[in-house]
Chains A and B, each alone.
Chain A
Amino acid sequence: MSHLITSPVLIPLLAGIVLLMVRDQNISAKRAISIVSLLMQLACALLLLKTVGTGDILTYALGNWPAPYGIVLVADRLATWILTITALLAIFAFTYATLNTDRAGRHFHVLFQLQLFGLNGAFLTGDLFNLFVFFEILLLASYGLMLHGGGRLRTKASLHFVVINLAGSTVFLFAVGALYGVVGTLNMADLAQKIANVPAENVVLVKAAGLLLFSVFALKAALLPLYLWLPAGYAQTSAPVAALFTIMTKVGAYSILRVYSLIYGSNAGASAHLIERWLLPLALASLIVGVIGVLGSKHLRVQIAYLVVASVGTLFVAFGINSTQSISAGLYYLPHTTFASAALFLLADAIANRRGAVADKLDAGPVIASPRLLGGIFLVLAMLVAGLPPFSGFLGKLMLLKSAVNHTAMPWVMGVVLVSGLLTMIAMARTGSLLFYKANAAYIEELSSHKVRVAPFAKTDARELVSIIGLLSLCLMMTIWAEPIIVFTQATAEQLFNPMQYINAVLSQS
């Protein structure tokens, strides 16, 4: 039994504990510990990715308690794929945070590591109640991170975020309790096996529990109508935190994919295909609402937050079509949208820092320092999120549309995805021209009289560029090496459609 699978959970936990003991003044030591932990997590994730790439499913019984009784960690293709994405994202978000965010308050580094502890645990666990626990860990860390640095609007957004997530946790527990009460197990593989044999009078309870779970995961993923917490929260928090939070919506997406392919999959008897009727319409509606938000935003960060909502919509369109091709397309689109929106959040902060009092308001402001560099990055990122060729966003959407050709909802999918792409492009073009081509006359006068040049941040810092361009180049690499990635996501989707492999791997290991 390989202990490697526990490392993505243990490394951030231990790093968090060690970080608690380092004094606050010793910021360079804290940064060093954090970055070592992040690099180790990436190395472990890549190692796991290589191991499960052969098609094996690794399991680890915690405390050596055999499967249905103890808690298991399970690493299959899906889990390690998202682990790798998280580790990559965290490194670049952290690099940006070392500019000045991590000094804005205490315990930033600890919370950052604990956030990763919760995320990695949620991806690896094979037990439904344990999933709840890891959700709580990542949420508690995210409450702290979201509030980090303080400020009126941040407090208000945090309060809403915390209250809605606490309500969500309660619903999660009701669902878990109901499932345990009927089926008598919480191990996901065991649940998948036993759910088909639930007596007819209890099927309705199992279905209710499944739908309650769906509402919780949809809340985490910001699926319509449960997305209202996202725009304010993501726009108000600090940039590196917002960048890291782009993976938080994917936790919901991951959980939906896991639970409804494994437990409520095609082998679930009376409760099979539970959410199929709901997912696609809700996803299309989220996409529409997200794009309307993108068009109507008055601030750049709010606009990017709505882009996240729209991207969640697109992702769930892929999962909602529910074929191997579409899920493979969704799993290719997932890292693309995570990296691109994270890079946009960081870029928005870099731009806001250079615009003085106008900050990220979409209005004519001062001339931005180093406009060619930032404008160039913005152009590429805008093309990425709008899904223009030749970048990864285009490839993802192309595969998604190809997979929808034979689906009954084909006209809806085609229409909504294509029109939303067009509208995103229009919105991004408008934003770009406002930010980079249009300057307020008052500011130009100031500039020509050499009184003020630009805000305090005029010089580009290497860390700033490394983090933004790093995330951007990840998207470019996804474009160049699209074929091996698609082969992998295709295999991942096939593994999801064959839940027996997961069940056997978990239940036969003792």
Chain B
Amino acid sequence: MEALIALLIGVLTMCGVYLSLRNRTFSVVLGLTFLSYAVNLFLFAMGRLTIGAPPILDNSATNYADPLPQALVLTAIVISFAMTAYVIVLALKSRADLGNDHVDGKEDD
């Protein structure tokens, strides 16, 4: 499972980096979204991968999942969600103000 998660985070990051280096605002927004997915998974995995273990006190439990990364990742998701919403609106605004969706506001010659 560890290898699979690591591979998943790697692929997501790779896509994110590639897309955010593109020259259209839409791909950049997609790229940033992929990057935030990757980092959220990464944060979550940093509490180690545990199956079937409760994150809060339970008298019958023998093993626990680390609850802190879950709290961290929740905060990170909320923040990245808000930021994505903002950057989408900004991309639309720049499309309206600059007349095209190139990140520099001008078409390539």
Instruction: Please report A residues at the B interface, Cβ cutoff 8 Å.
Output: 129, 133, 136, 140, 143, 147, 150-152, 155-156, 158-160, 162-163, 166-167, 169-170, 173-174, 176-178, 180-181, 186
The answer to whether A163 and B94 touch (CB under 8 A), given A170-B36, A174-B39, A180-B72, is no
> At the interface, yes or no: B97 with Cβ under 8 Å from chain A?
yes
Contacts of B83 in A (CB 8 A): 136, 140, 166, 169
- Once the chains bind, are B46 and A177 in contact (CB under 8 Å)? yes
Residues of B within 8 A of A166 (CB): 32, 35-36, 83, 87
Given A133-B75, A136-B79, A178-B46; A162-B86 close (CB under 8 Å): yes
| B contact patch SS | helix
Question: Does B42 contact A177, Cβ atoms closer than 8 Å?
Answer: yes
Q: Are B86 and A180 in contact (CB under 8 A)?
A: no
Residue ranges of B at the interface with A (Cβ–Cβ < 8 Å) = 16, 20, 25, 28, 32, 35-36, 38-40, 42-43, 45-48, 68-69, 72, 75-76, 79-80, 82-83, 86-87, 90-91, 93-94, 97-98, 103-105
- Assess the A173–B39 pair: CB atoms within 8 A: yes
Residues of chain A within 8 A of B36, CB atoms compared:
166, 170
Bound: A186/B68 CA distance, A: 10
CA distance A156 to B103 in the complex (A): 8
Bound together, the chains give a CA A174 to CA B98 distance in angstroms of 34
Instruction: Say how far A433's CB is from chain B's closest CB, in angstroms.
Output: 34
Residues of B within 8 A of A169 (CB): 79-80, 83
Contact of B43 among A143, A152, A159, A173 (CB under 8 A): A173
Taking a contact as CB atoms under 8 Å apart, the answer to whether A180 and B69 are in contact is yes
Q: Within the complex, what minimum Cβ distance (angstroms) separates A206 from chain B? A: 13
- Known pairs A129-B72, A167-B20; A152 contacts B97 (CB<8 A): yes
**Set of chain B residues within 8 Å of A160, measured between Cβ atoms:** 103
Given A129-B72, A156-B104, A163-B20, verify A170-B90 contact (CB < 8 Å): no
Complex CA distance for A231 and B97, rounded to whole angstroms: 21
- List 12 interface pairs A-B (beta carbons < 8 Å), by A numbering: A129-B72, A155-B93, A156-B104, A156-B105, A163-B32, A167-B20, A170-B38, A174-B42, A177-B39, A181-B45, A181-B46, A181-B48
Determine if A173 and B76 form an interchain contact, defined as CB atoms under 8 angstroms apart: yes
A155's partner among B16, B43, B94 (CB-CB below 8 A) is B94
Given A155-B90, A156-B104, 18 additional A-B pairs, CB 8 A: A140-B86, A155-B94, A156-B98, A156-B105, A162-B86, A163-B20, A166-B36, A166-B87, A167-B20, A167-B35, A169-B80, A169-B83, A170-B39, A173-B39, A173-B43, A176-B43, A177-B43, A177-B72
Task: Please give me the residue from chain B that is nearest to A152 by CB atom.
Answer: B97
B90 in contact with A159 (CB, 8 Å): yes
Q: Which residues of A contact B28 (CB under 8 A)?
A: 163
Q: Nearest chain A CB to B15's CB is how many angstroms away?
A: 13
A136 to B16, CA, bound (A): 20
**Chain B residue at smallest Cβ distance from A130:** B75
Q: Which chain B positions have C-beta within 8 A of A163?
A: 20, 28, 32, 87, 103
Q: In the complex, are the beta carbons of A143 and B79 less than 8 A apart? A: no
Give Cα A357 to B87, complex, Å. Answer: 32
- Given contacts A159-B103, A167-B20, A167-B32, whether A180 and B90 have CB atoms under 8 Å apart is no
In whole angstroms, how far apart are the Cα atoms of A152 and B35 in the complex? 28
Q: Which residues of A contact B32 (CB under 8 A)?
A: 163, 166-167, 170
Set of chain A residues within 8 Å of B68, measured between Cβ atoms: 180, 186
Taking a contact as CB atoms under 8 Å apart, the answer to whether B20 and A143 are in contact is no
On whether the beta carbons of A159 and B94 are closer than 8 Å, the reply is yes
For B35, what are the chain A residues with a Cβ–Cβ distance below 8 Å? 166-167, 170
Question: Measured between alpha carbons, how far is A423 from B47 in the docked complex, in Å?
Answer: 52
Closest B residue, CB atoms, query A137: B79
- Chain B residues in 8 Å Cβ range of A186: 68
CB distance from B85 to the nearest CB of A (A): 11
A457 → B minimal CB distance (Å): 26
Chain A residue at minimum C-beta to C-beta distance from B87: A162
The complex places the Cα of A159 from the Cα of B97 at a distance, in Å, of 12
Q: Which residues does chain A contribute within 8 Å of B47, judged by CB atoms?
A: 180-181
**CB-based nearest B residue for A135:** B79
* Among candidates A143, A150, A156, residue contacting B86 with C-beta atoms closer than 8 Å: A143
Expressed in whole angstroms, the minimum distance between the Cβ of A210 and any Cβ of chain B is: 16
- Which residues of A are found within 8 Å of B42, using beta-carbon distances? 173-174, 177
Residues of B within 8 A of A159 (CB): 25, 90-91, 94, 103
Asked whether A133 lies within 8 Å of B98 as measured between CB atoms, the reply is: no
Closest Cβ neighbor of A165 among chain B residues: B83
